[in-house]
Amino acid sequence: MSRTITKTDWHPASWQRMPAAQQASYPDQPALDRAVADLSRLPPIVTSWEVDALKDHISKAQRGEAFVLQGGDCAETFDECTSENIVAKLKILLQMSLVMLYGLKKPVVRVGRMAGQYAKPRSADTETRAGNSLPSFRGDLVNRSSFTAADRIPDPQMILRGYERAALTLNFVRSLIDGGFADLHHPEYWDLGWVGHSAMADEYHEIVKSISNSLDFLETISGEAVHKTQRADIYAAHEGLHLLYEQSQTRYLDRRERWYNLTTHFPWIGMRTAAMDGAHVEYFRGIANPMGIKIGPGMTGEWLQDLISVLNPNNEPGRLTLIHRFGSKAIEECLPDMITAVRETGSPVLWVCDPMHGNTESTADGTKTRRFDNIVSELELAFRVHESMGSYLGGVHLELTGENVTECTGGARGLTDGDLARAYKSTVDPRLNYEQAMEVAMRIAGLHHANAKISRKKT
Ligand code: PEP
Ligand code: MN
């Protein structure tokens, strides 16, 4: 068993007693206080019913009865809060989940990195260009990306603008789903207009046809509809980084006798903010939401056991998801010790592989990219290591977009470093494009193999 850590006196602002990594310094304290007070009065973005429903889905995935697909941008931006972008993200998540459902023969729980993924951790507090140093860009929730002194000053009003964008995003997603957009009978709604001919899309349409035939068959013989559309069929997740934002929407629900973070269904603790004595762990331990912890090569077995004992002291099912991101080179060495350490705690956890963040590299001209082969290799190794240890890999966490970008190299079209400049839109980490994301989904579903190359054609 891990060491017992006793902590008491939690409240939504108790994290303020601890060192808080990755927080912005706001020069105008009264303006910040006003923004936090405003946000604290506004209605929640999600409800505790939805949060608890997701926890229940995650506990099923922990038992091997479901698979979790988490995906979306590295960072959402206020500018990209548009109908087209939201629909494209929804479509790619729905298409991938359909492929995975078909191949894995298990329910797929869809969780978007969306509706609040606006704050980013940074490796340095300042950025220097041509001898001029300014505060780093920390995401649209904090300041603006353009390199001017005025734009880089953390602006408290952006907390409110972020809350509004998150609410607008989720409102649109919910309306689409309630209106029948996610209905399995109409997968044609999910086609992306720009895709046109692509072997991935062809493969996908074959699967859709086969599912439609099975649905028709089952409904004919049973006389009932097989699939009912459900509210909150797509859950929202973001890194719980900006603690004043998270705190402001943390509410005590008498009915449940627990505190909930109602900015999102599923917040996660990033790699840089998981210190045991840090503010993030203090904040997260008090909320009832299911939560993720990112685990990289710096994590030790003892540290992970301590995190589990503080974040899930009662071994509650559905509560903890461990998102490992070791990189394809380190996973075989690092993951087994983590699985052993977790086992000793007795806590159920959901293991999810993030094959993106451990495989980031720079091209000769300094462009941040990820190689498709490394992403797929880490995923395959993750499945293999878990299986060999009698553990279950129950999900995947990806940075992806439904748009036609060129940010990661490789994949069926064999994108090279030279292709990156063509459509590189991310201001932070590189994302899988539509075809690369579908190929990952097909690999997970066991439907597509490395040698099935698409003839190289420029998009
Ligand atoms: C991220 O998910 O974008 C991120 C910053 O990840 P990590 O904390 O794993 O580095
Ligand atoms: Mn990222």
| pLDDT tens for each residue of 211-228 | 778 777 777 877 777 665
Closest of 282, 309, 389 to residue 1, by C-alpha: 309
| pLDDT above 90 as % of the chain | 77
123 CA to centre of ligand 2 in angstroms: 12
Q: Which of 89-98, 307-316, 391-400 has the lowest mean pLDDT?
A: 89-98
Residues 177 and 167: their CA atoms lie apart, in Å, by 15
| pLDDT, position 353 | 98
Domain architecture of the chain: domains with CATH: 14-182+232-458 (3.20.20.70)
Q: Which residues surround ligand 2, an ion (CB under 5 A)?
A: 74, 429
CA distance linking residue 263 with residue 275, whole number of Å: 23
Query: What is the whole-number distance in angstroms between the Cα of residue 80 and the centre of ligand 1?
Result: 20
Closest CA to 33 of 9, 10, 16, 11: 16
Mark 186-207 as b/e (b = at least 16 C-beta within 10 Å): ebebbebeebeebbbbebbeeb
| pLDDT, position 181 | 82
Specify the pLDDT at position 432. Answer: 96
Say yes or no to pLDDT of 302 above 60.
Answer: yes
Euclidean distance between CA atoms 60 and 46, whole angstroms? 21
Q: Is 301 in the pocket of ligand 1 (CB under 6 A)?
A: no
* Residue 189 phi, psi (nearest 5): -65, -20
- Would you say the CB of residue 74 lies under 6 angstroms from ligand 1? yes
Write down the pLDDT at residue 222: 76
Which atom of ligand 1 is the closest one to the Cα of 428?
3
What is the model's pLDDT at position 232? 44
Q: Is the CB of 356 under 6 A from ligand 1?
A: no
Which residue among 271, 354, 407 is best mutated to probe the pocket of ligand 1, counting the most ligand atoms within 8 A of its Cβ?
A: 271
Ligand 1 neighbourhood includes 353 CB (under 6 angstroms) = no
Q: What is the mean pLDDT of residues 60-69?
A: 97
Question: What tens digit of pLDDT does each residue of 428-455 get?
Answer: 999 999 889 999 999 999 865 544 433 3
Residue 456 confidence (pLDDT): 33
